[in-house]
Amino acid sequence: MFHFAIGEEFASKWQFLPYIERGITQFARIDVCNVGGITEAMKVAAMAEAHYIDLMPHNPLGPICTAATLHVAAASPNFSWLEEMNTHVENPGLDNWNYYPFSQKLTAHVIN
């Protein structure tokens, strides 16, 4: 069986509705920053939960979107997976292009 996930580019709960009602998808790919924020994402999560569909949020936009998505995930009983980006902002020791640590060490400077 193949699992079908949909919704990465949807901009409102109304775009999710036909797929959820017809049971076409097994995962709702909510992008909190694209769908209209935390409130709209929670509405999609509730619709999905009512139809036994899990959440697998799409999260490509950085640390602010990650924080908002984590809030939705923590408040949703049907949360399943979280996509996360390993960028130099979210993980300073990781190079996003090849996933190898930077050769330079990050050092903390003490201010007197």
For residue 74, how many other CB atoms are within 10 A of its CB? 8
Q: What would the pLDDT profile of 26-46 be if each residue is shown by its tens digit?
A: 999 999 999 999 999 999 999
Burial degree of 5 (CB within 10 A; 0-12, 13-18, 19+): middle
- Amino acid 97 reads W
84 lies in a domain? yes
| Helices and strands in the chain: count of H runs, count of E runs | 4, 3
89 lies in a domain? yes
For position 61, what pLDDT does the model report?
Answer: 81
Return the CATH number at 7.
Answer: 3.20.20.120
Structure tokens at 79: 């949360």
Question: Please, which residues bridge with residue 55 across strands?
Answer: 28, 79
Structure tokens at 26: 């097994």
34 lies in a domain? yes
Model confidence band, residue 56 (pLDDT cutoffs 50, 70, 90) = very high
How many domains is the chain partitioned into structurally? 1
Structural domain harbouring 90: 1-104
